[in-house]
Structure 1
Amino acid sequence: MFTSFIVLIILDSSFGFIKYDTGLLKVYDYEVSSFNCQNGFSKTATINFAGTFENQPQVFFYLEKIDLERAELEFKLSITTITVTSFQTLISCAKYRVYRTQIRWFAIDDQRIEVINNFNMINPDDKTFQIKNPNAQYGFLTLTSIHFTGQIDFQLSISSITTNSATVTITKVSGKFANLKQIGYQLVVGVQEAFINLGLMTPTGGFSSGALPIQTNRWFFIALQGLNYNYADNIRIETLFTNTATTLSYTFGAWQGVTETPNRHSQIWIAYQFTYSYKALECFSVRTSRREAFDLTILPPIYLELVSLNQIYTTIGNYNYIINKSVQPVNIVILLGCPNGKKVKAEFNKCNSCSTQKFYSITYNCFNKMNYVGFYPVFKQAFQQYNQLKINMQSSSLEITQVLYDQKITEQLIIKVQILNQ
């Protein structure tokens, strides 16, 4: 593959941390090392990063070259540990021989991408996974291991992604699916900017991608999603790259005189540097009210309503809520008692980029005739996104914090209301 991608690294100028790294692992290849993977053989490999990450990175990979012996073959492959300086893989071959698995790997420290591992799944079936980032609404799958006993014909697909889960399905071709005993794969999800998907390719033998324009600040990734294998020869795929200053291309050609195995794969450009940074909701107006409540004991100490979302909170506790990205602006109602001799202080996030005066700050002293206070803030988003809120409601305070998945996961306070002594 092209050398320029192997050395793509960025350093944090303050601390010397790298943000991403990539390389090619060749030790699981009989032509490169003393690799004889069959009959219960296993081998580990430790891959050192080109520098040190600030946080444990996420690592994902694809099989750039594979040669798997015909007959009943079973091999398992997984990432066993990841640290800030290296990661370790483990391969094992239960029966017949795995001649080679060259692995193109990628590591990134960025929370706009999430890697979910489903290594070595026995009795393959559809499966739903929990995801962290509500804005990770895009993704792809990449095959990592397999066990088969005859002809196979299958394809992995992401059938749905919601704000908290992703479902992976597998085709079940009659007469062939029963021969598929185990598969492993990685599910990679991310924000819209993370991936450019050029679509599904279905080569039946020799294949040429043609010239693909190189995308700035992105890796090229071949996501193997399925195989159509007739059980007549080895499973073989050898990816050969050619690149110019502006384009990339790859071929699947005849390997040792044998046409390569029909497969299904997607062409993905993956961002390792991002343009968009996710920001907290900003309050652009807030209306207030004061009135007399004849009996505060029959009212909730604090009332919170997310207007038009049918979300009302009146009980002490901690809550999580995701506001749909289509809700603009976000209108909120906060009502609370203001007992005589106390004061109410309210703060609303006004400006993410300001160094000072970041909050609207409002304070009311309480007295008998005006003992019930209302705040009606209206928030806007910097750009359309799902907004994940953590709500902490107590008898004399309310805090709403927004969780942001950017290069790091951060939490930013957007609302704080307190009942205080004067």
Structure 2
Amino acid sequence: MILEFLLVAITQGIITKSKGELTEFTYTTSGFVCQNGYSTSKTIAFPDSFANVPKVIFVPTILDFASFSSSQFTVKLEILSVSLTNFQIKITCPSKKVNTYRLSWYAIDDSRLEVINESINDINLNPVGSKQYSIQNPNIKKATAMIHSYGINGALSITLTISELTTTYVKVNINANSNTLYLGYQVVLGTDEVISFIDEIAASNTYQSQHYPIISDSYFVASFRRLTNSGTNAFRLQYFITTTSTQIYYDCSTWGGAYPSNTMNVFWLGTTLNQEFLPMECFTVRVSKLYDRYADLKPAFQLELLEINKVLNTIGSESIVLNESIQLLTIHIYYKCPSNNTKVHSQLNRCNSCTGSNNIYNLNHYCHGSMNTINIYAKYQAQANYKELTLTRASNGVTIVQTLRNRSVSQKTVLKVEFLDI
């Protein structure tokens, strides 16, 4: 049986978040005999449609695996597909029996959240000490790695640690003993508002967590970043979450044997975010027309970002990321007039909260007389975050487009200068 619940934020049939439990991977389900190469997949339907393909996170909540004493043991979980209306997940049991694998899942449509799925086969033959992954959003500030499946031939000992997080990549350290045959995990990354770490608990006995204050518009996630067990005992580990009107907590336990030592990382996963990443705004622009005696030695036109000493004077595009410390940016456009029958048309993003023609500077300047150059100096104010800009110089103008990663990914032209014949 698949339980789905807590659907919120529905607008005209479009959802932005959902969560649920998958309880069908268990011996009490007819036909589920997960051993000796058995595999099965389940398609989990969302209660309604997402506007964009969501990120899907899943964590095991009940693990009941057979004894490891006589042979190898492996359980593999993988997400096969994610669409606007459902996702498909597959379990495979190559050798010994998996009695129960219950999981909780969370689906969120927001580009401020990123999820990386990893499966490493034959890790005993090709040991992996760390893995590095590219990330899309330079404003990612937090990350966690979560074990969901493994294969072993003896004692179990696996620990995952985030060792490095930059604007372009995340690095996961993998500490797995030589008995490890297979490892499956997810890396969950988010902006400061997406992930709020609550606790990290290392335990070798059954325990109840602290009682944490409930945070609205957030999902409570408890995940394993370390798992250990002897090579002779069955592996049985479970946790149950309890919610009151003001608090939430969980009980982690085993049954019928020794408690598998583990480390749990507990965090809130934000689902309704208030921080919007906004385009840069031009708050002043100055235009000068003058005679440049050295104009013949200069390119026809060029784009210059003064604070970072960036110059673009050849045809093409280039993507850059401005540091979060840059909150004021001066942009200089230089244009060499080829004749008096030319005008420079400029559009600069002026006001994000304005509507209609008030949101841009719309300017025209003309080449005439003895003035052979036009210089535009535009000053922009920007948020204290990383700014993704694409600079493009075409044969007849320049543009700067800013990529914004909020609930969805969008592009905003913050500067467009065209050189036109009249």
Structure 2 SS opposite 1:308: helix
Q: Is the counterpart of residue 156 in structure 1 residue 155 in structure 2?
A: no
User: Aligned partners of 2:299, 2:159: CA distance in 1, in Å?
Assistant: 54
Structure 1 SS opposite 2:15: coil
Cα deviation code 1:235-269 (max 9, x no counterpart): 2211122221111111112423x343111121010
Q: How large is the Cα RMSD of the aligned pairs?
A: 1.7
Q: Is the counterpart of residue 101 in structure 1 residue 101 in structure 2?
A: yes
Map 1:14-29 → 2, pairs under 5 A: 16-29=13-26
User: Aligned partners of 2:239, 2:29: CA distance in 1, in Å?
Assistant: 16
Q: Is the counterpart of residue 44 in structure 1 residue 41 in structure 2?
A: yes
1:364 aligns with 365
1:406 aligns with 406
User: Aligned partners of 2:371, 2:28: CA distance in 1, in Å?
Assistant: 84
Q: How far does residue 228 in structure 1 lie from its aligned partner after superposition?
A: 2.3
Cα deviation code 1:367-403 (max 9, x no counterpart): 252121112211112x421100011111220010100
User: Aligned partners of 1:188, 1:254: CA distance in 2, in Å?
Assistant: 27
Map 1:320-339 → 2, pairs under 5 A: 320-339=319-338
1:207 aligns with 207
Map 1:133-144 → 2, pairs under 5 A: 133-144=137-148
Q: What residue identity is the alignment partner of 1:224?
A: F
User: Aligned partners of 2:418, 2:379: CA distance in 1, in Å?
Assistant: 19
Question: Residues 395 and 296 of structure 1: is their aligned pair in 2 closer, same or farther, counting only changes over 3 Å?
Answer: farther
Q: Is the counterpart of residue 252 in structure 1 residue 255 in structure 2?
A: no
Q: How far does residue 358 in structure 1 lie from its aligned partner after superposition?
A: 0.9
The answer to whether the 8 A contact 2:7-2:47 is kept is no
Cα deviation code 1:324-374 (max 9, x no counterpart): 111121222221212221011112111011002111222211025212111
Q: How far does residue 280 in structure 1 lie from its aligned partner after superposition?
A: 0.5
2:171 aligns with 167
User: Aligned partners of 1:24, 1:388: CA distance in 2, in Å?
Assistant: 37
Question: Residues 73 and 303 of structure 1: is their aligned pair in 2 closer, same or farther, counting only changes over 3 Å?
Answer: same
1:396 aligns with 396
Q: What residue identity is the alignment partner of 2:57?
A: F
User: Aligned partners of 1:225, 1:104: CA distance in 2, in Å?
Assistant: 16
User: Aligned partners of 2:290, 2:67: CA distance in 1, in Å?
Assistant: 81
Structure 2 SS opposite 1:242: strand
Q: Is the counterpart of residue 310 in structure 1 residue 314 in structure 2?
A: no
Structure 1 SS opposite 2:363: strand
Q: How far does residue 295 in structure 1 lie from its aligned partner after superposition?
A: 5.8
* 5+ residue gaps, structure 1: none
Question: Residues 122 and 284 of structure 1: is their aligned pair in 2 closer, same or farther, counting only changes over 3 Å?
Answer: farther
User: Aligned partners of 1:372, 1:390: CA distance in 2, in Å?
Assistant: 25
1:70 aligns with 67
User: Aligned partners of 1:33, 1:158: CA distance in 2, in Å?
Assistant: 40
User: Aligned partners of 1:254, 1:343: CA distance in 2, in Å?
Assistant: 77
**Percentage identity across aligned positions?**
28
The answer to whether the 8 A contact 1:109-1:407 is kept is yes
* 5+ residue gaps, structure 2: none
TM-score, normalising length: structure 1:
0.93
User: Aligned partners of 1:304, 1:64: CA distance in 2, in Å?
Assistant: 55
> Whose strand proportion is higher, 1 or 2?
2
Structure 2 SS opposite 1:36: coil
User: Aligned partners of 1:161, 1:221: CA distance in 2, in Å?
Assistant: 21
1:188 aligns with 188
1:58 aligns with 55
The answer to whether the 8 A contact 1:302-1:395 is kept is no
Q: How far does residue 178 in structure 1 lie from its aligned partner after superposition?
A: 1.1
Q: How far does residue 121 in structure 1 lie from its aligned partner after superposition?
A: 4.4
User: Aligned partners of 1:140, 1:401: CA distance in 2, in Å?
Assistant: 31
The answer to whether the 8 A contact 2:241-2:250 is kept is yes
User: Aligned partners of 1:111, 1:250: CA distance in 2, in Å?
Assistant: 29
Cα deviation code 1:95-149 (max 9, x no counterpart): 1111111010011111111111113444244111111111122121211210111
1:377 aligns with 378
1:416 aligns with 416
Q: What residue identity is the alignment partner of 2:327?
A: Q
User: Aligned partners of 2:344, 2:350: CA distance in 1, in Å?
Assistant: 19
Question: Residues 368 and 112 of structure 1: is their aligned pair in 2 closer, same or farther, counting only changes over 3 Å?
Answer: same
User: Aligned partners of 2:329, 2:294: CA distance in 1, in Å?
Assistant: 31
